[in-house]
Structure formats: structure tokens, C-alpha cells
Amino acid sequence: MYNVREINKDTWWLGASDRRIQLFENTHPVPNGMSYNNFIIMDEKTCLLDGVDESVSRQFEENLAHVLNGRTLDYLVIDHMEPDHCAVIPDLVQRWPNLKLVGTPKTFDLIRQFHGFDPEPHAIKVKEGDTLSLGRHTLQFVLAPMVHWPEVMVTFDQLTGTLFSADAFGGFGAIGGAIFADEVDWERDWADEARRYYANIVGKYGPQVASLLKKVSKLDIKEIAPLHAHIWRRDFDQILSLYAKWAAYEPEDNSVVIYYGSIYGGTANAADILSVKLAEAGVHNVRVYDVSKTSVSELVSQAFRSPTLVFASATYNMGIFDGMRELLEDLAAHAMKNRTVGVIYNGSWAPQAGHLMLDAIQKMKGMEILDPHVHVTSVVDGSALEELDALAAAIVKKLGK
Ligand code: FEO
């Protein structure tokens, strides 16, 4: 049975959530599921804005049939060609042979690659600022390349002020009927998953996100409708200010994140001791994560939040312990930069993790590595304790406590 909501004049949400999914993009844990939004404008012409993931395609079909109520689908605007939004394209084209597909030139290359048919007979290729009239509604296209794929654009409805924002401003997690951010306690319940989504899906492309923010700031936006999670119709500053920070790799607060990779507990002990010293010195929100236990998806997200990152690792196979190596590689892959960094390394006979971590950290831009680099030999002893004291003092000084 159909399950839709009208979100603005002539404009309907047709989306659905998948609560069985375990890993989004087969890598990011989504314990609360995943939502896939898409929208339709019912004007003199009918226009679908993006599709959905295959997992919710049945619900989408029922929603689409209900809102169309026997009318023909005239246009499909493809803001983003990733399969979590485009699984239904071949079905739509087959059902409506005269359907026009609207996208950037790169969109049509990707249709060919993913779906194996020639989209040219259906293609309307748009460039920056082009418009499409549906009757009362005029759609304006704003290109957003590499946010986070090359073909991405966002679509602005000049009549309603709705910005169909593709993946931008989205989040992890299934949503219920409360599809608007003002219908939930967004800050309390959803901000963390919006950050984790941004950091992992879009975070590598901060300059491109900043460029998009600049372009859309010139539009008279009344509603922001992303392809995942909640739709915004007020308090835009809440999400826009977070995006401005994340895009600039600016931390949100004055906290410290301590990541440790520990085999038998010596390195974990050093991390915990440091966290106590920082908390006693008045640092708010000191967070400690075991990299072997916590998903790297969450670990990367925390780095976008905090100005101070401490990496503590045992030496393993003459290298950095597994989870820590993956974390440092992932942070570099996401272009993490401009953080204050502490290093704790452990090695019972050849403490290689220390210089290898320093090498990995120095590959990231703007990383200020504090002294001392704390050396633990198997377990924390008096010498390591003194170095932890000194590192805590350096972090506290840097934070201006
Ligand atoms: Fe939600 Fe980049 O796909």
C-alpha cells in the first residue's frame, strides 16, 4: 500500500526506509537502518526527482502509482547516479518510453555503465543555471561535481523554494513518518548520524562542498530536501552551520578524542590514564575509542568533530596495530587536516609503531604533532607516566585551559 507525504505545493515525498540493512555501501554500519528519499512534482508536466535503492523499490512503485493516479511520468531529474538512488531507472524508462531523463552529461555516461542501455534518446543534458519549466514550477539546476560523485547536481524549485540537495545534508538512519527535521529532536537524536554520514560519504570533498554552499547561499531556500534522512523547512542554520564547519575541516568543539589499538591492555591503560589527566584538567568531552572494537566509520566521524586527536598504538608485526593503521589510512583518504595530534606508541622489543604513525600523520595537512611522543614499553611505567603527564599538559595548554 502507498505511503506518501505532501511536502510542499504539488510536491510529494515518495521515499521509504530499509531497516534490515546492516552496512550502507557495504561498509558503514547502520544499526538504525537507512532512508531513501525521493520526490515528485505534479504540475502540467509530472517530474520525479531521483529514484530509490532497490531495497525499497516496491514501496516506491506503489507510492509513484498512487500520486501519478494514471498520469504519465514526463521527467526524471537525476541529481545523483549512485545506485542507492537509481535502481529504478531501467523500469521507469521501460514503462514510459517517452520519459525524459534530466542530468549532467556525466550522468548519461554513468547510466550507460550501470544499466547497459543507451540513454541518449531520453537525454536532456543540463549545465549550470539551466532551467526546466513544468508549468507553474520552474526547476533550476546547480552543479555540484564531486559532492561526492562527478555527475552530481542539486535542483532548486523556484516556485516553492525547495532545494533538492542530493546526498548533501543527508544522514544515516531509517526515518519514520516524521520526515521533517522539526518533527524530531534532531540535535539530540540525529546530529551524530548526520556527522558520520557527512564525514564518511562526503567528507573527502570539503572544497567542493564549500563551493556548493556558496552557490546555494544565493538562492531563496524555503526547504531542503536531501536524498537521505530529514527534510528541513526551518532552522536551516542548524545544518548549514555544521556543513560550513565540516567542509572547512573546522572542529565543532574543544574536545579530545583518544584512539587506541591495544593487544594486551598496556596501550589501552596509557590512553585511559591520559583521559583522566585531561578530564581532571577541565577538558570537556574527552572520548576514548578502542579501534579494534569501534567501526572506523565512527572513528573518522569523531575526527571531524574534535580539534585534538591522540593516536595510541601497539606495535604488531613490526608495524602499526591493525585497526589503527586502517584509521590513519582512512583519515588521510578523507583529507583530514588541521588538527592537534598526540602520539603514544608501545613496543615490547622493537617499538616500530611510533615512527610509522608519525609518518602516516605527517602525510595529512596541517597536523601539529605535540611533544612528547609517549613511549610505553609493554606496560605503563614511571617513565611513560611522566611522558603522559607532559603530553596532557601540552594538550591542555593548546586547548587554552
Ligand atoms: Fe546516497 Fe551518494 O548516494
74 CA → ligand 1 middle, Å: 24
β pairing state of 39-42 and 16-18: unpaired
Q: Residue 391: CB within 6 Å of ligand 1?
A: no
What pTM was computed for the model?
0.96
Ligand 1, atom 3, lies closest to the CA of 82
- Residue 20, Cα to own-chain centre: how many angstroms? 20
Sequence-distant (6+) residues with CB within 8 A of 165 are: 79, 154, 216, 224, 225, 226, 227
How far, in Å, is the centroid of ligand 1 from the Cα of 15? 14
CA distance 329 to 208: 21
> Is the distance from CB of 249 to CB of 204 less than 8 angstroms?
no
**CA pair distance 247, 304, nearest whole angstrom:** 10
Closest CA to 310 of 239, 248, 387, 203: 387
- Here the cell at position 242 is 555544521
Q: What would the grid cell of residue 35 be?
A: 532512508
Residue 150 alpha carbon to ligand 1 centre in Å = 12
Which pLDDT score, from 0 to 100, does residue 291 have? 98
One-letter amino acid identity for 90?
A: P
In whole angstroms, give the CA distance from residue 256 to residue 102: 46
Nearest residue (by CA) to ligand 1, atom 1, is: 167
Question: What pLDDT does 376 receive?
Answer: 98
325 CA from centroid of ligand 1 (Å): 27
E strand spans, 217-272: 223-225, 256-261
Atom of ligand 1 at shortest range from CA of 82:
3
pLDDT at 401: 77
Q: How far is the CA of 346 from the centre of ligand 1 (A)?
A: 39
Tell whether ligand 1 has an atom less than 6 A from the beta carbon of residue 228: yes
Closest ligand 1 atom, residue 152 Cα: 2
167 lines ligand 1 (CB under 6 A): yes
pLDDT in tens, the chain (401 residues): 999 999 999 999 999 999 999 999 999 999 999 999 999 999 999 999 999 999 999 999 999 999 999 999 999 999 999 999 999 999 999 999 999 999 999 999 999 999 999 999 999 999 999 999 999 999 999 999 999 999 999 999 999 999 999 999 999 999 999 999 999 999 999 999 999 999 999 999 999 999 999 999 999 999 999 999 999 999 999 999 999 999 999 999 999 999 999 999 999 999 999 999 999 999 999 999 999 999 999 999 999 999 999 999 999 999 999 999 999 999 999 999 999 999 999 999 999 999 999 999 999 999 999 999 999 999 999 999 999 999 999 999 999 97
Residue 84 Cα to ligand 1 midpoint, Å, equals 6
Confidence at residue 22, expressed as pLDDT on a 0 to 100 scale: 98
- Residue 350: all three cell numbers together: 622493537
Ligand 1 centroid to residue 230 C-alpha, Å: 15
Q: Residue 52 has which C-alpha cell?
A: 530509490
Atom of ligand 1 nearest to the CA of 227: 1
**Is the CB of 325 inside a 6 Å radius of any atom of ligand 1?**
no
State the angle between helix axes of 266-280 and 382-399 in degrees (0 to 180), rounded to the nearest 10: 40
What's the pLDDT score for residue 389?
98
